[in-house]
């Protein structure tokens, strides 16, 4: 078989850019490029700047698809790289250490069976790796110790690789998102909404960003009072405003109602200010949780907005489950797709993981939010702390409502704003550099969100400027620790650790090579609200992500439609050029040399087409 | 005019189309003028009965809203003619029946009040106030008869039940009366033309249209007593061939079948050393009854009479789908076809597939094998001749299997639909390999139930000939001329027909054939008529090594020619199929070469266009795959326009690009469609002019459904926190 299991093939290391890749990005590129990209095993030293080689060893990779393969493993401070010795074509593995969730020894001194002594590595990106080693000479101990140390640097007092990387890019990704610019794009501040710097030093809320937009009528004092009544001080603040009807999406955490059903006049008044701002009769509060959970939260001091206290608001529960349920669901999904796709009763097995069901609930929650906003009603979204389900809902609703977020750069802004800025706890959810694989705080909430985005791109293949490759790249670097983008839990921690000055942003990589991530079918349609269909009939498993390691499945993943489209685009340009040359030589048959001096305007072929193309 | 009934409807009705007239008023007011209302009748179509003031519910809500109109039953269809001004012309209009017409053979089930299934014969003097009609093309109609005159309502209900559900004779089918009244140009039987030309090639053509070797005498044939005569289907370029037969030519029995088969092989197989593998399909594939049962369960998921139920069933969608087994049957058929392909392509053995009757699963498998091996059959014309050859001439009992006549003793089964489903799977996985589009397959599947085309009305060619001859109003010599389904102009105008071509398809680039000529013996090429097997692409060398090896072995050892294939269930077979697939998969994909389907769970899917097209709630407005395809068509149109201009300049194009000259019209149709309507995932069957719309929000997000069976108390736990936050 021809596969090589490199993990980073969706992104091309900067230094490979020197030989510019083909102009045509066939959809297969991501996979096929492997052949050309195959980093000749560190022997040729195609290491990232700042990457250092630590150890290499002869080893047997027990490939679940093609059996035991002899070869060599190289471990650097960034990756584990394996290349088979005798298989043809060579099987390679390229795994960023950040993607490793757990390393275990397999078999003991008494192990008999062939290849039963070695290492078992569980990855965060839906695969497991098994290596067999010789029992003699401590070779396993050496490699285990090194892997353990470099895969979990934070547990060993080491720096994450992002802080060691010396990568340079043409563009600085950290400048992609400027909060004030983004608010101005939305038309803020205005006479109803103001920008406040009350959190400039993270004093109001340590998990919020520094710049917040709040109702114009709410004073700083009001904000401080509301702060006491919202879990972890995460007060309702504006995320997005509808340009025409001025309806807003606000996000926050649960109110601290508690068992006794406490009320807070300031909080009540504050929510009413949000409602008032565009003069709607009722404010809709979307509580992302199932109602039972919201009730249960009262026991730990939380709760939800009661009818009595918030008279001008209606509360809707969206029945989305918590991080633990999602974690188990993805675990089950992995069980049925890796290494082999469950054969008997595939669909029932898929259903029993509930993964798509959760996706459905998240998407239909976001549809409801978007629908309310389109209807001119402001909404407030929260869950318990407002950094997991809330982020999913607000960002998906914004993706449906605002076509800007469907562009390549707009999507980066969306992630920077709703996820990174508002403190989705990436460090805890992913466990960057941390050895504690059983940590109950870990959960694939962000993966789930990206899956929802993928479902939307699948349903609206022409509405997004970016392609699937971007989504996979984002998920790869969610784990890889090569970039600073997804490190730490909140802005405050990023500031403390000087993240933006000491690490490189993922968007530097992406924006230095935008064409790689562009969807050729993209047709901008501003002001168009996208409502995906949140029915199981249309939701499908993201095979190209979850089952991408399986060489049998991969074959299916090429998009011939894209290939054909790109071929036709090239053909059109070629013909246009030819036609132009012909027309020139026709008009001035005696001065054919002129055609050389006027090159066709390749930049805007569509302008040429307008007069050529007969409308049907 | 849309009227609103009941409080629920009144409340939610949008102001734009409210007309608050009570049904009683309507009745008294408008009745006289409505008498003459009827659809544009087809030649030979006669109205049996009609009722006015029938309310047709708008399908997708519970609000009891609807449209009043006349319900008619003719010898062709059940038709509802709305009192409203006719809606705008649809792009994809069927010329034979409109969106509110149901051809009689297309009626699947009729339900009365409380969703009671109506069966023919039981209808006496009663009639239900509400009648639900499920169609075989998956549309659902709901009519209220309670506003009509009792007499009319009774008549129309009984008429519909009688004509749709009760046994009838073949000549009652509309085709006969239609054809008598149209001067249809005689052009039927494509297949025969092909076959006639093969007469000179060492074969005799039998009147029942199958090919036997010339060296077989009639005497030999009579020994079969009409059963179990192996029929040649297709020859591989290696010389081995595919045959199908009705009964089992066991080795131990008298040697007749074998002798015949030997003769057949001598005539067909280039290399006499090839062995013959027999595959008894009834051992491994489901029976026609199983197929019917499974499909009946499957189709229920799409026959939606109310959205609440639809959303209720949504959470259990995957397991329901799994349990009905339909996708699994599709997978089994494809797998069997891959096995046969493997034998032909890799092992170079002759294959004889058989089953009782020899005209159901044999047709499915043999046509799938040919689709996978021979790119000709993936063209529009090729597919048509494949269906004619394997199904129509191959004696598939279309009449019995679709049971148009509602006879108790016939085994109904959607075998042909199953074949189309399999083709769809192949097409889904390898789009650019097919000249025809998904829409083509969907329309073809609908056409089975339009009783106008001779293609699907008979059990075999003999049946057809004798009947058409008997029915002919003219002399014995000219049988009744009826259109075949392939005369698409009977159903669609040119523009609509353009949607049948696939914009992704590119013709095979022309290349030097001299190399191949020496590679394949010339006479073999002709044996493959009517296929063009020998135009198979330059995959020489593909599995050639294996084939050569096998030839060597055979040459030395003289293996027994007859082998029984191992049971398909054995892990050995499935792993061999898997290896075959994997080996194929590692080669670069050639759309004009061998195609194999991936059979893994996620790869076998539901044919969305066919099954979801009428369900409003799952239409993706402005999205779906058509959004991409229409962009491809658009560019294709531009490229073709440029080509024309360049041609005018006398510029010869160095056509190194594939698809330089595809059919021009595809693009035009889609672009025309784009300009006036919004595309949706149901395109072209349902188009929406409405741009702003309310999203479908699942009405039952029952958390209870999913929390059950969820690991322990995880659901109750707090997001962030240790054990102390367990509730």
pLDDT digits (tens, 9 = 90+) for A280-310: 899 999 999 999 999 999 999 999 999 899 9
Confidence class for position B246, pLDDT limits 50, 70, 90: confident
pLDDT at A476: 97
Instruction: For residue A166, give both structure tokens.
Output: 């010396």
* Per-residue model confidence (pLDDT) at position A254: 97
Give CA–CA dist B597/A552, Å, rounded: 11
More confident residue, B508 or A249: A249
Cβ-contact A238, A213 below 8 angstroms: yes
CB pairs under 8 A between A and B: 262
Q: Which residue has the higher pLDDT, A529 or B233?
A: A529
Element housing B244 (H / E): strand B241-245
Mean pLDDT score, A238-266: 95
The dihedral sign for the CA sequence B215, B220, B224, B225 = positive
Q: How many residues does chain B have?
A: 727
What is the rounded distance in angstroms from the CA atom of residue B420 to the CA atom of residue B330? 10
pLDDT score of A39: 41
Average pLDDT rounded to a whole number, residues B497-523: 65
Q: Which of B578, B627, B698 sits opposite A462 (nearest CB)?
A: B627
Tokens 């199981």 belong to residue: A536
Residues of B in contact with A426 (CB under 8 A): none
Mean pLDDT in residue range B664-688: 62
Chain A residues within 8 A of B625 when measuring between CB atoms: 461, 561
Least confident of B525-534, B542-551, B628-637: B525-534
B701 and A319: CB-CB below 8 Å?
yes
Percent of chain A at pLDDT > 70 equals 87
User: Are the Cβ atoms of B601 and A343 closer than 8 angstroms?
Assistant: yes
Crossing angle for the helix pair B317-324 and B326-342, nearest 10 degrees? 60
Neighbours of A456 (CB within 10 A): 22
Residue A414, both tokens: 């969306």
Query: Is pLDDT at A454 greater than 50 in this prediction?
Result: yes
Mean pLDDT over B577-598 rounds to 88
pLDDT of residue B80: 93
Q: Mind listing the pLDDT tens digit for each residue in A410-419?
A: 999 999 999 9
Over range A13-25, report the average pLDDT: 36
- Predicted confidence (pLDDT) per residue in A95-133, tens digit: 999 999 999 998 887 777 788 899 999 999 999 999 998
Per the structure block, which two tokens stand in for B554? 């055979």
Q: What is the pLDDT, as a whole number, of residue A503?
A: 96
CA dist., res. A34 & res. A6, Å (int):
8
Residue from A303, A425, A575, A589 to probe the interface with B (highest B Cβ count within 10 Å) = A575
Query: Average model confidence (pLDDT) for chain A?
Result: 87
Which residue, A521, A604, A402, is CA-closest to B628?
Answer: A521
Strands A379-382 and A283-287: parallel
- Mean pLDDT score, A60-69: 91
Count of CB atoms situated within 10 Å of the CB of B445: 21
What is the per-residue pLDDT for B517?
39
Nearest to A321 among B601, B715, B722 (CB): B715
- Report pLDDT digits (tens) over B216-230: 555 555 555 445 567
The residues of A carrying an active-site annotation are: 383
Residue for token pair 């698409």: B488
- Model confidence at B727, pLDDT cuts 50, 70, 90, reads very low
Buried b (16+ CB within 10 A) or exposed e, B324-333: bbbbbbbbbb
Does A22 lie at the interface with B, CB-CB under 8 angstroms? no
**pLDDT band with cut points at 50, 70 and 90 for residue B157:** very high
DSSP A552-586: HHHGGG--HHHHHHHHHHHHHHHHHHHHHHHHHHH
A288 contact residues in B (CB cutoff 8 A): none
The mean pLDDT value for B244-250 works out to: 65
Q: Among A166-170, A467-471, A611-615, B437-441, where is mean pLDDT lowest?
A: A611-615
pLDDT of residue B254: 53
pLDDT at A613 over 80: no
Rounded-to-integer distance, Cα A596 and Cα B311, Å? 64
Is residue B108 over pLDDT 50? yes
Please tell me the pTM assigned to this model: 0.86
Confidence category of residue B724, pLDDT binned at 50, 70, 90? very low
Could you tell me which residue, B310 or A522, shows the higher pLDDT? A522
Q: What is the mean pLDDT of chain B?
A: 74
Q: How confident is the model at residue B119 (pLDDT cuts 50, 70, 90)?
A: confident
| Percentage above 70 pLDDT, chain B | 64
How far apart are alpha carbons B486 and B440 in whole angstroms? Answer: 11
Question: Are the beta carbons of A576 and B429 separated by less than 8 Å?
Answer: no
Please name the residue of chain B whose CA is at the shortest distance from the CA of residue A336: B601
Those residues whose C-beta lies under 8 Å from the C-beta of residue B639, and which sit 6 or more positions away, are A568, A571, A572, A575
Interval A173-217: pLDDT, tens: 999 999 999 999 999 999 999 999 999 999 999 999 999 999 999
Indicate whether A38 pLDDT > 60. no
Q: How far is residue B100 from each of residues B38, B404, B488, measured CA to CA in Å?
A: 12, 20, 21
Separation in Å, CA B400 to CA A114, A522, B290: 60, 49, 16
Residue where the block lists tokens 């299991």: A5
What band does B291 get if pLDDT is binned at 50, 70 and 90?
Answer: very high
Counting residues of chain A whose pLDDT is more than 90, the rounded percentage is 74
Q: Does B327 score more than 70 pLDDT?
A: yes
Contacts of A460 in chain B (CB under 8 A): 620, 622-623, 627
B659, HSE (Cβ side, Cα atoms, 13 Å) = 29
Of A229-243, B66-80, B482-496, which has the strongest mean pLDDT?
A229-243
Q: Which residue has the higher pLDDT, B244 or B538?
A: B244
Name the band, by pLDDT with cuts 50, 70 and 90, for residue A378. Answer: very high
Instruction: Quote the pLDDT of residue A550.
Output: 87
Helix (H, G, I), strand (E, B) or coil at A506: helix
Q: Any CB–CB contact under 8 A between A316 and chain B? A: no
Ranges B41-55, B187-201, B398-412: which has the least confidence: B187-201
Q: A616 and B637: CB-CB below 8 Å?
A: yes
Which pLDDT belongs to residue A592?
43
Q: Report, as an integer, the average pLDDT of B240-250.
A: 71
A contacts of B639 (beta carbons < 8 Å): 568, 571-572, 575
**What confidence tier does B464 reach under pLDDT thresholds 50, 70, 90?**
confident
With cut-offs at 50, 70 and 90, classify the pLDDT of residue B705.
very low
Under DSSP, is residue B4 helix (H, G, I), strand (E, B) or coil? Answer: coil
pLDDT at B166: 86
Reduced to 3 states (helix: H, G, I; strand: E, B; else coil), residue B402 is helix
The pLDDT of residue B267 is 65
Q: How far is A464 from chain B (nearest CA, A)?
A: 11
pLDDT higher than threshold 70 for residue B341: yes
């Amino acid at each position: 078989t021809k596969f090589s299991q490199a993990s980073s093939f969706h992104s091309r290391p900067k230094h490979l850019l020197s030989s510019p890749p083909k102009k045509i990005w066939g959809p297969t590129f991501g996979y096929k490029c492997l052949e050309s990209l195959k980093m000749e095993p560190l022997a040729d030293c195609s290491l990232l700047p700042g990457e250092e080689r630590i150890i290499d060893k002869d080893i047997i990779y027990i490939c679940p698809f093609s059996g035991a393969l002899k070869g060599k493993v190289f471990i650097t401070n960034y990756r584990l790289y394996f290349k088979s010795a005798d298989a043809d074509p060579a099987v390679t593995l390229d795994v960023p250490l950040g993607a490793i969730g757990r390393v275990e020894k397999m078999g003991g001194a008494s192990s008999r069976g062939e290849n039963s002594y070695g290492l078992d590595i569980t990855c965060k990106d839906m695969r497991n790796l098994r290596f067999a080693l010789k029992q003699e000479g401590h070779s396993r101990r050496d490699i285990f110790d090194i892997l353990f140390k470099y895969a979990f640097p934070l547990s060993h007092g080491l720096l994450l690789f992002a802080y060691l990387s010396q990568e340079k890019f043409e563009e600085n990704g950290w400048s992609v998102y400027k909060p004030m610019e983004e608010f101005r794009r939305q038309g803020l501040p205005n006479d109803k909404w103001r920008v406040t710097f009350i959190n400039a030093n993270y004093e109001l809320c340590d998990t919020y960003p520094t710049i917040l937009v709040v109702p114009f009528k709410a004073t700083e004092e009001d904000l401080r009072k509301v702060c006491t009544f919202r879990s972890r001080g995460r007060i309702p603040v504006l995320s997005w405003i509808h340009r025409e009807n001025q309806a807003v999406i606000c996000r926050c955490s649960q109110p601290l109602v508690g068992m006794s059903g406490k009320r807070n006049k300031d909080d009540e008044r504050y929510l009413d200010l949000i409602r008032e701002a565009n003069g709607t009769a009722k404010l809709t509060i979307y509580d992302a949780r199932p109602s039972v959970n919201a009730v249960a939260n009262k026991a730990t001091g939380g709760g939800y907005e009661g009818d009595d206290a918030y008279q001008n608001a209606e509360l809707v529960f969206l029945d989305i489950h918590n991080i633990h349920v999602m974690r188990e669901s993805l675990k089950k999904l992995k069980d049925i797709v890796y290494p082999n796709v469950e054969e008997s009763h595939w669909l029932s097995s898929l259903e029993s993981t509930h993964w798509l069901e959760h996706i459905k609930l998240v998407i239909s929650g976001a549809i409801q939010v978007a629908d309310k906003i389109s209807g001119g009603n402001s909404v407030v979204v929260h869950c318990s702390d407002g950094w997991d389900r809330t982020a999913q809902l607000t960002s998906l609703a914004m993706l449906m409502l605002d076509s800007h977020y469907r562009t390549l750069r707009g999507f980066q802004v969306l992630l920077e704003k709703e996820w990174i800025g508002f403190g989705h706890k990436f460090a805890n959810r992913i466990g960057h550099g941390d050895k504690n694989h059983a940590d109950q705080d870990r959960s694939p909430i962000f993966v789930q969100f990206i899956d929802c985005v993928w479902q939307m791109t699948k349903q609206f293949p022409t509405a997004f400027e970016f392609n699937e490759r971007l989504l996979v790249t984002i998920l790869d670097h969610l784990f890889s620790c090569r970039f600073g983008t997804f490190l730490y839990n909140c802005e405050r921690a990023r500031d403390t650790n000087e993240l933006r000055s000491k690490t490189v942003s993922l968007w530097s990589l992406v924006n230095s090579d935008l064409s790689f991530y562009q969807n050729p079918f993209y047709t901008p349609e501003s002001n168009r609200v996208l409502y995906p269909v949140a029915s199981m009939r249309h939701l499908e498993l993201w095979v190209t992500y979850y089952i991408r390691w399986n060489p049998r499945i991969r074959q299916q993943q090429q998009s011939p439609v894209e290939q054909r489209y790109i071929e036709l685009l090239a053909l059109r340009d070629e013909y246009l050029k030819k036609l132009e040359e012909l027309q020139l030589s026709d008009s001035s048959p005696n001065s054919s040399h002129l055609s050389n001096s006027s090159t066709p305007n390749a930049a805007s072929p569509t302008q040429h087409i307008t007069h050529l193309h007969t409308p049907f | 005019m849309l009227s609103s009934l009941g409080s629920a409807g009144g409340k939610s009705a949008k102001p734009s189309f409210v007309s608050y007239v009570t049904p009683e008023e309507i009745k008294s007011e408008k009745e006289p003028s409505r008498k003459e209302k009827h659809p544009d009748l087809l030649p030979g179509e006669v109205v049996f009965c009609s009722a006015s003031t029938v309310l047709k519910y708008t399908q997708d809500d519970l609000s009891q809203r609807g449209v009043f109109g006349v319900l008619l039953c003719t010898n062709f269809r059940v038709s509802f003619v709305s009192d409203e001004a006719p809606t705008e012309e649809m792009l994809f209009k069927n010329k034979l029946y409109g969106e509110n017409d149901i051809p009689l053979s297309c009626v699947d089930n009729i339900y009365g009040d409380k969703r009671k299934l109506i069966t023919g014969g039981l209808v006496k003097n009663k009639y239900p106030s509400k009648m639900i009609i499920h169609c075989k093309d998956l549309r659902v109609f709901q009519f209220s008869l309670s506003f009509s005159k009792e007499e009319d309502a009774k008549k129309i209900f009984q008429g519909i039940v009688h004509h749709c559900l009760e046994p009838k004779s073949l000549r009652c089918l509309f085709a006969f009366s239609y054809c008598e009244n149209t001067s249809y140009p005689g052009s039927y039987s494509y297949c025969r033309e092909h076959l006639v030309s093969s007469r000179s090639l060492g074969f005799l053509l039998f009147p029942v249209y199958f090919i036997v070797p010339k060296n077989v005498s009639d005497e030999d044939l009579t020994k079969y007593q009409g059963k179990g005569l192996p029929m040649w289907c297709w020859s591989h370029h290696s010389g081995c061939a595919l045959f199908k037969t009705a009964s089992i030519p066991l080795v131990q029995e008298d040697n007749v079948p074998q002798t015949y088969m030997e003769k057949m092989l001598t005539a067909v197989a280039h290399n006499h050393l090839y062995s013959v593998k027999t595959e008894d399909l009834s051992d491994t594939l489901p029976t026609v009854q199983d197929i019917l049962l499974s499909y009946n369960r499957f189709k229920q998921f799409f026959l939606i009479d109310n959205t609440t139920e639809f959303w209720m069933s949504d959470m259990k969608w995957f397991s329901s789908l799994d349990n009905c087994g339909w996708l699994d049957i599709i997978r089994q058929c494809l797998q069997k076809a891959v096995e046969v392909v493997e034998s032909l392509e890799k092992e170079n053995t002759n294959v004889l597939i058989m089953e009782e009757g020899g005209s159901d699963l044999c047709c499915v498998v043999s046509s799938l094998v040919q689709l996978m091996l021979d790119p000709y059959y993936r063209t529009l014309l090729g597919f048509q001749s494949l269906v004619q050859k394997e199904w129509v001439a191959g004696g598939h009992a279309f009449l019995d299997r679709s049971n148009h006549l509602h006879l108790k003793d016939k085994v109904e089964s959607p075998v042909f639909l199953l074949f189309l489903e399999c083709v769809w799977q192949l097409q889904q996985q390898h789009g650019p390999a097919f000249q025809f589009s998904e829409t083509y397959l969907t329309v073809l599947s609908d056409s089975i139930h339009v009783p106008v085309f001779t293609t699907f009305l008979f059990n075999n060619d003999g049946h057809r000939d004798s009947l058409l001859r008997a029915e002919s109003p003219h002399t014995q010599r000219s049988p009744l001329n009826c259109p075949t389904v392939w005369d698409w102009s009977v159903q669609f105008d040119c523009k609509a027909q353009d949607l049948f071509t696939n914009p992704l398809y590119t013709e095979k680039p022309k290349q030097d054939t001299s190399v191949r000529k020496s590679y394949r013996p010339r006479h073999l090429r002709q044996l493959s008529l009517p296929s063009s097997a020998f135009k198979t692409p330059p995959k020489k060398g593909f599995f050639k090594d294996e084939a050569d090896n096998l030839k060597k072995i055979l040459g030395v050892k003289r293996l027994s020619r007859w082998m029984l294939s191992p049971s398909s269930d054995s892990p050995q077979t499935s792993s061999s199929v898997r290896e075959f697939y994997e080996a194929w998969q590692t080669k670069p994909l050639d759309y004009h070469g061998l195609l194999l389907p991936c059979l893994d769970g996620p790869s076998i899917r539901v044919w969305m266009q066919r099954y979801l097209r009428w369900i409003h709630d799952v239409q993706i407005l402005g999205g779906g795959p058509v959004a991409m395809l229409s962009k491809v068509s658009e560019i294709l149109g531009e490229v073709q326009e440029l080509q024309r201009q360049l041609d005018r300049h006398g510029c010869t194009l160095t056509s190194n690009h594939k698809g330089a000259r595809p059919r021009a019209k595809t693009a035009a149709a889609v672009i025309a469609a784009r300009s006036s309507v919004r595309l949706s995932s149901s395109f072209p069957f349902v188009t929406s002019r409405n741009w702003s719309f309310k999203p479908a929000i699942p009405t039952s997000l029952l958390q209870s459904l999913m929390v059950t069976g969820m690991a322990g108390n995880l659901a109750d736990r707090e997001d962030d926190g240790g054990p102390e936050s367990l509730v």
